Structures are given as structure tokens and as C-alpha cells.
Structure 1
Amino acid sequence: MANDPKIDRRDDVRPAEGEHKYGDVEFADPTNKKYPIDTPEHVRAAWSYINHKDNAAKYDKDEVEVIKNRIRKAAKKHDVDISD
């Protein structure tokens, strides 16, 4: 993911907590260890959470799109149907 767009570090998040809670898994926001996308259940939850206005508001518009694109990619990988 070397060429992936960068997501800024959020001041309101402790990335170590996300890693502690979920382990060494793939996250839609790897910078802050938010929105794990390693299982179908996590993909569905990540999609639901990022589509809540209060969660999305913590990111720039382009960062939200990066996160959504990563979730969409994971959804395809895990054969999960999500819709905009």
C-alpha cells in the first residue's frame, strides 16, 4: 500500500487500542487503526460506521473516500454486499 493516499493521525484516537482490540489485521484507516476489514462482519460494521455523519466528520472528505474505497475493496474480497 505504498502509494495509498495518506490519512492524517487523529488526536482523538489511540491507534494502539485498535490494534490491541483487533490484533494485527487490515484496517480501512491503518494510520489510526480504525475500521477493521479482515472479516465479513468487520467489513459490514466498518461500512455502517463510516456512513454515520458523526464518524465521517472526523475526517477530511477525501479521507472518507479513501476509507470507503478500502472497505469496498475488502467487501469484494470477502463477498459482502454493501450499498451506498
Structure 2
Amino acid sequence: MAGDPAVSTRPGWKLLAGLYPFGAGAAAVNLFFASLIFSWLGWRVLTPYESIAGGLVLGIPATWFFAAHIKRLIINAEKPR
């Protein structure tokens, strides 16, 4: 079924819109904590606002990949046995 052109693994806009707040939030938190870890190496710590802005940007590809994974799981679950 992987070669079936009628079945697309591209996620729909509703799925992307539903998952984006979680993807952007997770990216922001991870970016902030990564900056805390890198502060041990002498780098500066990001402000929460910088982390949120970075999370809004990094959340787009993260959400896309996770939504594509969810779409593949849905397709796999709907296969006739």
C-alpha cells in the first residue's frame, strides 16, 4: 500500500493546526533548556521570549514530521486485515 497513489501520507491542515500549539510549545521549552545546558559552556541563556519566538519557528517542521507520522499510523490502522 506504500506505492498506492490514492493514499497520501501528507497530513491535512486540520491535523497540523491541532498539533501546532503542542509542537511549538515543546520546541520552545526544549530550546530554553538547551540554552541552559549550553550556558555551562559559556554561552548565554535565552530569554523566555526568545525561546518562544524560536519555538514558533522550529515548531513548524517538528509539527509537520509528527503529523506525517500520525497520518501514517492512521493509514496503517485503517488497512483491511
Q: How high is the TM-score relative to the length of structure 1?
A: 0.28
Higher gyration radius (CA): 2
Q: Relative contact order: is structure 1 or structure 2 higher (C-alpha 8 Å, sep ≥ 6)?
A: 2
Name the structure where helix makes up a greater proportion of residues.
2
Name the structure where strand makes up a greater proportion of residues.
1
